[in-house]
Structure 1
Amino acid sequence: MAPDVTLFEVGPRDGLQSRGEMVTTADKIELVDTLSRTGLRKIEATSFVAPRWVPQMADAPEVMAGISRMPGVTYAALTPNLKGLERALAAGCDEVAIFAAASEGFSRANLNCSIAGSFERFAPVLDRAKASGTPVRGYLSTVIACPYDGPTAPEDVARWTRRLLEAGCYEVSLGDTIGAGTEETLNALLDRLLEEVGADRLAGHFHDTSGRATDLVSLSLDRGLRTFDASIGGLGGCPYAPGAPGNVDTRRVLEVIEAHGLTHGVDMRALESAETVVRAIGAV
């Protein structure tokens, strides 16, 4: 039977991409392969971005070519533009992701364009993905607060979430990019979002900057969300979001899911092997 909750493991991409140091291709492949043996069903393996902007992901084709694919595991990649999508398709990625922001300041810092401009850039990516039958996931950053603009209005988050879904994304991952969320602010956001978007089209992506990420996962479970992004060992952060040191740890999210009496399908003992790999490559 399928588990109640889906964990989207983002450590190999979001986690390693945020590091200033380079990680070898062999170590990246070992990490993905070890994660593949845990029971995780979704792994974001790499990112097809311009090497001059993100040199940590310059070996994306080699990583995809080198991993040992496990049946039942979806291997995803971030593809910010059409060139990146074509490279991801050539590498055999099962699904791809695009990213937008709910605040103008973060959009300009991260994407060097307005939010509306980012959607213009996405259009050919979404058209090509649809033509190839490739699922597209949407990331929406700064859904609680922005390091440049301050608090984000729930109505703004709702508007851009709708736009991502209408554009063709099957799901939108709600990113508390600087870890500013509280139970009060998240409740206010979900009150607005769930008026028009089903919980099954939303995922939670929480940074643990203030030590509240697991509380937000717990609240999201209570509100009906059943997909969460998490990063092995808490790897992650964002160079465009000062003060946001890391994503919520995969193990901690799994423990919250179990505390709610829900299943996740991940072998916790096998997860230890992945945590060992992360420590061995010096990523935490």
Structure 2
Amino acid sequence: MASSSAQPIPDSVDTVLDLLSAHDYVADRALSTCVFLALRLGRPLFLEGEAGVGKTEIAKVLARALGRPLERLQCYEGLDLASAAYEWNYARQMIEIRLAEAAGAADRERLGRDIFTDAFLIRRPLLRAVEGVDGQVPVLLVDELDRADEPFEAFLLEVLSDFTITIPELGVRGGGAAPIVVVTSNRTREIHDALKRRCLYHWVDYPDAARERAILQAKAPGVGERLAAQVVAFVQGLRDQDLFKLPGVAETLDWANALMQLDVVELDPAVIDDTLGVLLKYQDDILRMRGSEAARILSQVKAELGHGTAA
């Protein structure tokens, strides 16, 4: 939940690094620089990368760290204006019309004006973002834009150009202080260049082993040092394989927490085979890795870490 007062925009890249770290987000300097510039220049931040690498978490952390409300728009095929920006409360409008008719109201033109007011307006994330939330400028997360249709992408570009939304019955809304905008994409399709040009772009890659261990330490501090090293090294090894879907950081954290629940203190081939479904989400990938292939990667991991050989 956002705090009652917004915090100032960070004044340096190092401040951004410290801010993210204080909220358990371990970022590299390139990402922190892009975040800093987006905040200082007032530009939307466009983050692209594989699922599970921490794109969405950036927006959540910024909202917490800066004391801003978070408005999240989860994109999907068929997303339209009514779901993204606003719609009229037709049920309430019909009730108002019936009540007016029962009371003998004859001025239909006045009734038409009365039912198209703020009292009957349902605000969705985009409208709340450009208007502000309880007097605060929010963080707007447009999540997985690549899942939405191209016509919605064009509408979003218009909104991001001046941070206003025109409601025919009420006029232009927004246009004040611009929200902090984070747009994410898993790159299941290409986003139009016009929208990318409006944003600062950063590709969020899988972390190297050192940074992934730091993430694991921050997010799952109860995992023992030996197990954490093996978990990270094994996941890094999986990412070198030709799999349909490589495990992201989210899967690393899920696996570490699952192993803790099983009271595992050190990886062995049996426990890996039993828990591969936490890491891999496609049966073909699981069948390919289970057994001798997982044991081979584990043996290599233990040799590199000096933890002995697999049992």
Fold match (TM-score > 0.5): no
User: Which structure: larger Rg?
Assistant: 2
TM-score by length of 1: 0.32
Q: Which has the higher strand share?
A: 1
TM-score using structure 2 length: 0.30
